[in-house]
Structures are given as C-alpha cells and as structure tokens.
Amino acid sequence: MDPVLLLDVILLLLAVTTAITAMAIRDLLGSVMLMGIYGLLMAVIWADLFAMDVSFTEASVGAGAATILLLSALTRTGTRERTGGDHHLPALVVVLITGSVLIHGTSQMPAFGDPQAPAHIHVAPHYLSQDIGKVSQKSSDGATRRDFGDHVPNTVTAVLTAYRGYDTMFETVVIFSAGVCLVLLLRPRSPLRREQADE
Amino acid sequence: MNIDGHLIAALLVLIGAILSMIRAAAGPTSYDRVLAVNVFGTKAVMLLAIIGFIGDRSGFLDIAILYGLVNFIATVALLRFVETKRLT
Amino acid sequence: MGETIADILLILGGFMALSGALGVLRLPDFYSRLHPAGTADTLAQLLVISGLVLHLWIDPNGSYLAMGKLLAISMLLFVTTPAATHAISRAAYISGLRPWTGDSATDDDNQLPDSESPLPDEGGG
C-alpha cells in the first residue's frame, strides 16, 4: 500500500476528529488549543498533497497567528461557554437542506482528472500552449529571454507567477493591513496614556 | 526498500501524536493542555521530516523548521495567557 | 549495514516518541507528565533525525542542503523543547498547582478548588 496514502487517510480522520472535539468541548481555552492542533494537522495534510505554499500559510496563520488572535479574543471574554439553550432546530434544518443541496451539486461535477471536463477543454490548452518560464525564448532582437531563470518546474507555477503575481502581492497587502488593524484594536492601553485620557 | 523503517517510524510517531491529542482534549488543568499541545507540535515536526523523506521532497523540511518556531511561540503565548489572562 | 543502522535509529526514535506520548497520557499528575514530555521527546527527535541524516549520508545522491536543514531542525527542537517544558512547569508551580503524592489525605485538596482556581479551566471535555 502506498505509505503516503495511508498516512493521508489517518491524518484526515484525525483532522475531522479534532474539529468535532474542538466544537463539542465546553472549555474555550481547550477549544483554542485544539484549533491550534487542527491547524498543524491541516498543514501536514496540505504538505502531503504537495501544496507547499498553502501549507506554509496554514502553519503560520492557522497554527500560529489564529491561535494568538483567538487568545486575545478570550482575554476580552470568559473562558467558559455558556451552557444550555444552544440547540436551535430551524438552524439545523436550514444547514441540513443547504448541505444536501451542495452535495447534490457535487454529483454533477466531472470526475476527478476527466480529460473532457470544461476546465481542460477551454483554458488548459491555452495555458499549455505557451511556455513562460519553461524554456529560454529568443526575442525579436535575437537576445535570449530567460523567464525566471528557467527555474519554473511546471505549468501551474508558471501560471501562478505570470498571471497571479500581482493578485498574490495585493492579497498579502490586504492580510497585512488586516493584521495591523487587529493589533491596533486589541492593543492594551498603557496606564500613562489612560491617565492622560482621563484628565 | 528503505521505505519500511520510515513507515514504521512515521506510524509510531503518528500514534504518539494521537495519544498526546487525547491528553490535550482531556485536560484536566490548562497546564496539561499546554504541555500536550507542545508535545503534539514536536511530534508533528518529526512526522513532517519523515514524510518528506518518504515522498523525497525537501520542501517539507522548510515547513518543519517553520513548525518548530511557531510551536514554541504558540506555547509561550498560551502560557502568558494562562498565567496572566492577558497577552501583553 | 548503514541502512540497517539508520532504520534501527528511526524505529527506536519512533518508539521513544510513542512511549513519551503514552507517558503524557497515562501518568497520574501534571508534574509527572512533564518528565516524558521533556526527556523522551528530545531523545526521540535526536534519534529520528540522526536516522534520516544517516540515510542521506549513505545515499550518494543525498543533498547536503537537506542534511543541514535536518540538523537545524534538530538543534531548534533540542533548545526549544526543554525550554518550553521548563516554562510550563514554572508557570504551573507559581500558580500553586501542587504535586500528586499518592497520599489520599493530601491529594483530596491537591487540585485547586474550581471556584478559587487561578486556572481559567475547570476540566471540560
């Protein structure tokens, strides 16, 4: 049996168990810690699927930053969940209906890796026909253009770097400014500043 | 041919990770939970190093280094919270 | 020969990791759980990573970069695991968590009462 597949199955089961436990547990601090473990597990799973960038993000944001943000939220609230009165039947019905509609929708999707899937008929040939970063190109004046130093390993990376570069950069800017805002909102006021504000 | 030793080691570490996760869920004190999360992080770093070796991808090692750092920072942050109920 | 030694190191490291986690799960109180968490894990990562490095060392195609990264991970864990364990135990001691003695007379009030507990936790689950 493929060892990576075996580890994958165990890790996925573990991630589901962790998520359910984190929801079921009444102690919110324990919940936050289980969410940290969940982040670590998801990062291992992403790494197992060879999605290195996602795994990096999950490890630093899911396991590190999210834990600390949730903890700073806990400093403003209690650490015990209020008991009782949290079973809302209409909400359960709505969630079940939405979930079954979504699952019904997935049954219409093309099979995994199907060559006749729309994504493979329309855009994929366009991307595959160009060779940004994959080979050295002769430009019109005869000089050799070396995109990314010929180091792009596959088409997906070429598309990511060529088309999604600005996208990713400004996503990073958005996330960074969101982080700065959260730090500004959640920062403690120093006693000196508080006195000045009181006067 | 050298898969076997790696796979056995990975499974042993994985079972260890599951056991420490049970401790993190069970408590009973907050310090037990923090300790269990720290142990789990160490196990995850080992697991990543071994899986990266089985799959022959050195990118795993970068993630493992990141984990080691994040794990320590998260432990210190959790301790600060448990001790003082504040983070700063 | 070298492959066998590396495999033995790996399996021994996996066994140490498992036994450390078993100790964390099964030992009776917090202070005794510190022991497997700190020592067994440090030894386990040393054994596992030296096994991996030995594999790379024997392999003619093994990259020195991967070896260096593995050694960096090992050094990092070697420093941070005992430091984290020490910090947790110190925090628990300062907060007034008393060790388990096996004496039921003193162990009844061993855990801090929930209402006066400085711990934000009453053992949910």
Question: What pLDDT score was predicted for residue C123?
Answer: 41
Task: Provide ipTM, 2 decimals.
Answer: 0.80
Question: What's the gap in Å between the CA of A191 and the closest CA on chain B?
Answer: 13
Question: What's the gap in Å between the CA of B43 and the closest CA on chain A?
Answer: 11
Question: What's the gap in Å between the CA of A24 and the closest CA on chain B?
Answer: 10
CA A169 to chain centre: 16
* Strand-pair partners of A27: A80
Mean pLDDT of chain A: 76
Residue A81 has pLDDT above 60, yes or no: yes
Residues 50-69 of C with CB under 8 A from B: 51-52, 55, 63, 65-66, 69
C-beta separation of A62 from A43 below 8 A: yes
CA angle B25, B29, B31 (to 5 degrees): 95
C-beta separation of C77 from B68 below 8 A: yes
Question: Would you kindly state where each structural domain of chain B is located, as residue ranges?
Answer: 3-84
pLDDT, tens digit (0-9, with 9 covering 90-100), for C86-104: 888 888 888 777 777 766 5
DSSP string for C32-53: HHHHIIIIIHHHHHHHHHHHHH
CA angle A113, A115, A121 (to 5 degrees): 125
As a whole-number percent, the residues of chain C with pLDDT over 70 amount to: 81
Residue A66 has pLDDT above 80, yes or no: yes
What sign has the CA pseudo-torsion C34, C38, C39, C40? positive
- Total residue length of chain A: 199
Closest to A15 (Cα-Cα) out of A40, A50, A48: A40
**What CATH architecture does domain B3-84 belong to?**
Orthogonal Bundle (1.10)
- Do the chains contact at B2 and C13, CB–CB below 8 Å? no
Half-sphere exposure of A36 (CA within 13 A, CB side): 34
Closest to C99 (Cα-Cα) out of C88, C109, C110: C110
Chains in contact with A, counting 3 or more C-beta pairs less than 8 Å apart as contact? B, C
Q: What is the pTM of this model?
A: 0.71
Asked if C123 has any chain A CB less than 8 Å from its own CB, the reply is yes
Instruction: Give the C-alpha separation, C50 to B39, whole Å.
Output: 19
Question: Would you kindly state where each structural domain of chain A is located, as residue ranges?
Answer: 1-80, 120-138+146-163, 167-199
* Strand-pair partners of A84: none
Residue A65 has pLDDT above 90, yes or no: no
pLDDT, tens digit (0-9, with 9 covering 90-100), for B17-35: 888 888 888 777 778 888 8
* Strand-pair partners of A138: A144
- Do the chains contact at C125 and A25, CB–CB below 8 Å? yes
Question: Would you kindly state where each structural domain of chain C is located, as residue ranges?
Answer: 2-97
Q: pLDDT by residue for chain C (125 residues), tens digit each?
A: 778 888 888 889 999 999 988 888 888 888 888 888 888 888 998 999 998 888 888 877 777 888 888 888 888 888 888 888 888 888 888 877 777 776 655 554 444 444 334 444 444 33
Instruction: Give the C-alpha separation, A41 to B67, whole Å.
Output: 11
* Strand-pair partners of A80: A27
Question: What pLDDT score was predicted for residue A162?
Answer: 67
What sign has the CA pseudo-torsion A17, B73, B57, B12? negative
Question: What pLDDT score was predicted for residue C117?
Answer: 42
Give A29's contacts in chain C (Cβ within 8 Å): 120-121
Residue B13 has pLDDT above 70, yes or no: yes
Chains in contact with C, counting 3 or more C-beta pairs less than 8 Å apart as contact? A, B
3-class DSSP assignment, residue A132? coil
Q: Which residue has the tokens 């079954």?
A: A100
Residue A99 has pLDDT above 90, yes or no: yes
